[in-house]
Structure 1
Amino acid sequence: MHQPHYLPWLGLLDKIDRCDLFVVLDHVQFERKGWQHRNYVASKNGPVLLTVPVVQRSRDERIMEKSVNNDSPWWDKHRKTLAEHCYRKAPFWGDFGADIMAVYDRRWENLADLSMATTDLVLNAFGITTPMVRSSELGEFTVQKSELLAQISAKVGATSMLSGEGARDYLDSEVFRSHGVEVEWQGFRHPEYPQHNRRGQEFLPRMAAVDLLLNVGPEGMDLVRAARTAA
């Protein structure tokens, strides 16, 4: 279970790949300046942050309600950064570049739809077939934090929820157990791989998953899976 991310990173793909069902947490509050509408890609000069501008209405707006601000052609910058500055000469650009560019041919109105389109693209490319459901499709939930996640888990019939390490400080495992759900910790380990435009330079971790896809190809997920059992 996780909020939708624009151009998701490998940690999120790893979580989806390890699950029997993935819940897209789209009915919770939108986080300003978070990963829900931005992520990094790798250039020869370092990380480049790509941000989708959004319409600012209320601070209480939920992710599912968030609109993309198309007043300026943000998609041209993203397209040019990916195609011209970062990945045109990547080993697998010829295989997946057209699919990535096609995302920017459409004028997206809803941020969650855009985020899921970029997520579906990399999931399909890596052959990840985990079924997904949006939390907004599961009914109304009036609780928050651990109780919310536990109720959603129980609603979909889960016996365990896979959580990232960052939630250890606030997730209450006892709340989950009261709903018959155990909490498992992801323990994500980031693999290193060749970055075509970073030869002789330090590896850049935590880039968008398209970085692994375009540099290594569909078999790149094997590196992610192997890292799970690495010492």
Structure 2
Amino acid sequence: MKLAIMQPYFLPYIGYYQLIGAVDVFIVYDNIKYTKKGWINRNRMLVNGKDALFSLSLKKDSDALDIRDRELAADFDRAKLLNQWQGAYRTAPFFKDTFPLLEEIVGFQDPNLFRYLFNSLRMTCAHLGLRTAFKISSEIPIDHSLKFQDKVLALCEAVGAREYINAIGGLELYDADAFRARGIEFKALRTRPFPYEQFGQAQVPYLSIVDLLMFNSVAKLQDVIADNYDLVRGAHSESSGLLFQA
């Protein structure tokens, strides 16, 4: 069984959905510390040919809290966020296909940050036809005081994973030999460039899935999610860090 584990992000770039599509089970962290100024509650969109941030406003609280303990701000302006997207993309070729999805995602009324993000993830995956099984990290019976690689390994073993796939940055974070010692193969997913037209201007790459949905059909994105990446194996420690195509 192939497994990936990630923290939730708000409408992330296409590599996140490629990771979901590449595995049988996708575990979403809820009992992990919220990262300030990361990508959990914000992402990038296209505005006048340049990248610009959009975000979910959060209630002021301790930065030490887990994602599941954070909440949206009481004055989070849903209409303002929708207007940002509408202003930027109303003439995009797939705006009419995409905007109703965004309205439904943004309109979700639960103020809990994790549940809001998890809902947006599941809705976007359904729109893209991804049917990977989701699990929530805190609901899996392991020692949740474990950290980093030890926690990942425990989660892998708890669900019976024989292959663990991480984003490409995982090559620097994890020891492939430690996974092999537990009978688990470690791989990392590297997204290939995906050029597409953005109002006839030079492409601004790696924006939120919102941008890709505005300029590409779902059928096209399904092909990109399924095929437009490489799986890379971490080398044995004695191999001086060489990588091998999977």
Taking structure 1 as the reference length, what is the TM-score of the superposition? 0.90
User: Which amino acid counterpart does residue 204 of structure 2 have in structure 1?
Assistant: L
Q: Does 1:160 align with 2:134?
A: no
Write out per-residue CA displacement over residues 31-87 of structure 1, whole angstroms, 9 at most, x where no aligned residue.
Answer: 1111110001112231120111222332321111111112x343222110112x222
1:186-221 Cα offsets, whole Å, 9 max, x none, are 1221311222xx31x220111111211221121122
TM superposition shift of 1:153: 0.9
How far has the Cα of 1:113 moved from its partner?
A: 1.5
Deviation at 1:95, TM superposition (A): 2.1
Deviation per CA, 1:63-120: give whole Å up to 9, x if none: 11111112x343222110112x222222222223122112233433111112122222
RMSD: 1.9
Poorly superposed stretches of 4+, deviation over 6 Å: none
Partner of 2:83: 80
Counterpart of 1:171 in structure 2 is: 174
Q: Distance in 2 between matches of 1:36 and 1:19?
A: 21
State the match for 1:48 in structure 2. Answer: 52
Q: In structure 2, what is the equivalent of residue 97 of structure 1?
A: 99
Consecutive unaligned residues in structure 1, runs of 5 or more: none
* Matched residue, 1:216: 216
State the one-letter code of the partner of 1:181.
Answer: I
CA distance in 2, matches of 1:223, 1:174: 31
Q: Tell me if structure 2 keeps the 8 A contact 1:147–1:176.
A: no
The SS at the match of 1:186 is strand
Change (3 A) 1:108 1:167: same
CA distance in 1, matches of 2:120, 2:204: 21
How far, CA to CA, are the matches of 1:21 and 1:55 in structure 2?
A: 31
- Go from structure 1 to structure 2 and tell me whether the alpha carbon gap of 1:27 and 1:130 turns closer, same or farther (over 3 Å shift): same
Separation of aligned partners in 2, 1:142 and 1:178:
22
Q: Structure 2 matches for 1:1-231, cutoff 5 A? A: 1-70=5-74, 72-83=75-86, 85-139=87-141, 140-195=143-198, 198-199=199-200, 201-219=201-219, 220-228=221-229
Deviation at 1:151, TM superposition (A): 0.6
Q: Which moved more, 1:34-43 or 1:170-179?
A: 170-179
Unmatched 5+ stretches in structure 2: 231-244
**Which TM-score applies when normalising by structure 2?**
0.85
Aligned-residue identity in percent: 23
Give the structure with the higher percent strand: 2
- Alignment check: 8 A CA contact 1:151 1:179 kept: no
> 1:192–1:203: 8 Å Cα contact kept in structure 2?
yes
Aligned residues: 225
Tell me, in whole angstroms, the C-alpha distance in 1 between the residues paired with 2:108 and 2:24. Answer: 31
